[in-house]
Structure 1
Amino acid sequence: MDPGKAPPIRPLPSVLGVKLSHDLRARIAGAARTDGVTDSAWLRLRALDALGMESAVDAASGRRPRIPPAELEALAGVVREIGALHGPASLGKAAEVLEGLDRVRAVLIPICVNLGRGA
């Protein structure tokens, strides 16, 4: 960092160290996971709610899209398929690779297009 320049302004410049019991920490982690956010984001959102505040900066982490289990299973399958295509690709079997890529696309495109639209 150039000592002549001011340090960059971070969106969330303050850290609050909070000691928690193991039980409370586990419950926060579970609730955050259920809501699809990080533990820190979950706590920030609860604090904003409790204080009746609105803060775009504090709420910016937002919810992560929840991917239903069936879609996660389908995604895992296409990842395996992509790995399996390495063999035919290295042997120059273009037709086999293209067929595999078509199967991958048939799963990936609908899931990606619908991310964040439900569940």
Structure 2
Amino acid sequence: MLGVKLSADLRPRIAAAAQAAGVSDSAWLRQCALDRLGVESAVDAASGPRPRIPPAELEALSGVVREIGALHGPASLGRADEVLAGLGRVRAVLIPLIIGLNGRSA
């Protein structure tokens, strides 16, 4: 792990440059290091902006997590119909969200 100390003046400059480039501070610094060293690294270069999940989708995902947790009881009691119905509701939310994330950029 690399710990880099930054002055109070340098930190906001890096943040502004990263924001202008549409990447995180860390991704911007990694790209600067790669450029300066003349190194190509697909692993490091691939790191970039993370997809931002809209609040409505985060709320839907939170609901799915609660649903999964609630399915433990019926599953432990062998109520397959109830568990399968719950898994169907989970799938109905998760699959469209995950497919949407595949094509989304920050």
TM range (shorter): 0.5 to 0.7
Q: 2:26 maps to which residue? A: 40
Give me the whole-angstrom Cα distance separating, in 2, the residues matched to 1:16 and 1:57. Answer: 17
Name the structure, 1 or 2, with higher relative contact order (CA <8 Å, separation 6+). 2
Relative distance call for 1:18 and 1:92 in structure 2 (3 A) is closer
**Closer/same/farther in 2, CA of residues 86 and 57 from structure 1, 3 Å limit:** closer
1:69 to 2:49 alignment? no
Pick the aligned partner of 1:102 from 80, 85, 88.
88
Sequence identity percentage: 77
Taking structure 2 as the reference length, the TM-score comes to: 0.67
Work out which of the residue numbers 67, 77, 81 in structure 2 matches 1:91.
Answer: 77
Higher helix share: 2
Measured against aligned partners, the alpha-carbon deviations of 1:55-83 in whole angstroms (never above 9, x if no partner) come to 75542212322211111111111011000
Structure-1 separation of matches of 2:83 and 2:45: 44
Q: Shift in Å at residue 22 of structure 1?
A: 4.9
Aligned mates of 1:79, 1:87 — CA distance in 2: 14
Residues 31, 90 of structure 1: alpha-carbon distance in 2 compared, 3 angstrom cutoff? farther
Point out where structure 2 has 5 or more consecutive residues left out of the alignment.
none
TM, length-normalised to structure 1: 0.61
RMSD: 3.7
1:99 maps to amino acid: A
